Structure 1
Amino acid sequence: MIPLRRAAAQIVVLAKEPLPGKVKTRLTPPFTPQEAARLAAASLEDTLAAVAAVRVRRRVLAFDGPPGACSPDGFVVIPQRGGPLDERLAAAFEDAYRRCPLPVVVIGMDTPQVTADLLAEAVAALRTGDAVYGPAADGGFWLLGLRRPDPALVLGVPMSRPTTGDTQLRRLRQAGLQVAVMPELTDVDCFQDTIRVAAEAPRSRFAAALAGMNLVPGRRARRRS
């Protein structure tokens, strides 16, 4: 049997160490910081598993945390650089491409419902196109890929706003890039997002973590009253 060829591309996961008080702070309340961190850890595991199932030349984890805190098999781990998200995103593109000059697809850790098929579709879009963009339901974006990364395409885009995605997409098109648009996904930012995403991916680690918390709206408030 002839082995399937790996796509000449790389996928970068931009992630934070899932520590209480550091990640998913908008989930508290109703979740405790410890529960929010467990959900973040599960989301990261689901994301890494989806990326690991895609046949690409290189997989990278751009990690905000101490060396050795997260070392998934099959991934090169690099530190995040920069302050605001636009700087860290631009640095992830730049660092990955400098080490390995192949097209780069960057995804965060907030969409545990992502599948290997969706990621493979994004990678395939860069064979002929210049960029690939995945819009998020909150107005941001869950994925961004560039065949020839340029930090100027990302730096200065206001992040975490309802207009972030539109601004980023407009930046790409104004640069004359041919952009493929992926299906919209929901980022996990608030309580209702956790319910929606778990329903979309019922067999995910994220859904299992959420189910284990047995959190029904109002129940915790009644317990504490």
Structure 2
Amino acid sequence: MPLAKPTLIIFGRLPVPGQCKTRLIPALGAQGAAQLYSRMLLRTLREAQAANLGDVILMLTPSPQAARLDASLAPLMAELDRELSHGLVHEPNTIRITLEAQPEGTLGERMQQAMARHLPNGPVMLMGSDLPALDSQRLREAADELALHDAVLQPSKDGGYGLIGLNQPCPDAFSLARWSHANVCLETLTQLTHAGRATYCLPVSWDVDEPEDLEQLALDFPALMKEHSSPFLIS
């Protein structure tokens, strides 16, 4: 019997200048880095809808509830709410995107808790929001492989990974001693193997973290690099 379509969780941030994509600030400035991130986030959400998988959940930091009550963040949160309600694709059968707060803790703890929250309902894929090459076709490929394997990983050129999918909880996959280094994907694959999980690795992709990533972004996705305000970044 085939598995249900996976729930897709997207980890995202409110695009507050100075608080997102900080490693891009030397190249773009705080405002420019936030504007670029907001465009990448919207692209990610559109591709997630277009993949036509299971539920799509944007897990946000700061939490949506806290942002709506913070006078400095409420206008930005309101713009995001409007974008989710009216700005994205809303055909009759299009999957709606729901908002949740990201769990607390280290990156590994947050990822493990996020997936554990939804794994009781079926397979789950978790991805970042700065992966423009991880489009709807690649998301469907990941879902197809997750139906055939215990886990799926999307390795990144920097040694990390942009997506992980599981059919059953596996806390060991998130118990790395440290994150943000060149062997994160390899160590995670080792943890999954030791836990007895058959894992499929998708072709290596890339994310946008450092100023040197902007050259490839401009080449492959020039619209994301245009000098214009984001649809939901408050100036």
How much does 1:157 deviate? 4.8
Post-superposition offset of 1:193 = 0.5
Matches of 1:55 and 1:162 in 2, distance apart? 32
- Tell me whether 1:212 sits opposite 2:218 in the alignment: no
Quote how far apart the aligned CAs of 1:49 are: 0.7
| 1:104-126 C-alpha deviation (Å, 9 max, x unpaired) | 01110111222101000101111
Q: Which residue matches 2:133?
A: 113
Higher RCO by CA contacts (8 Å cutoff, separation 6 or greater): 2
Count of residues in correspondence between the two structures: 201
1:18 is aligned to 15
Match of 1:130 in 2: 150
2:217–2:224 Cα contact (<8 Å) kept: no
Is 2:223 the counterpart of 1:190? no
Q: Choose between structure 1 and 2: higher helix proportion.
A: 2
One-letter amino acid of the structure 2 residue matched with residue 145 of structure 1 = G
Q: Percent identity?
A: 29
> What TM-score does the superposition give when structure 2 sets the normalisation length?
0.80
The within-5 A match list for 1:95-114 is 95-98=117-120, 101-114=121-134
Among candidates 110, 135, 148, match of residue 88 of structure 1: 110
Q: 1:59: Cα distance to partner?
A: 1.0
TM-score if structure 1 supplies the norm length? 0.83
Which contiguous aligned blocks of 4+ residues in structure 1 show a shift greater than 4 angstroms? Answer: none
Structure-2 separation of matches of 1:189 and 1:146? 25
Which ranges in structure 1 are unaligned for 5 or more consecutive residues?
1-5, 214-225
What's the secondary structure of 1:133's corresponding residue?
Answer: strand
> What is the root-mean-square deviation of aligned Cα atoms in Å?
1.8
Query: Matched residues in 2 for 1:42 and 1:157: separation?
Result: 32
Structure-1 separation of matches of 2:52 and 2:129: 19
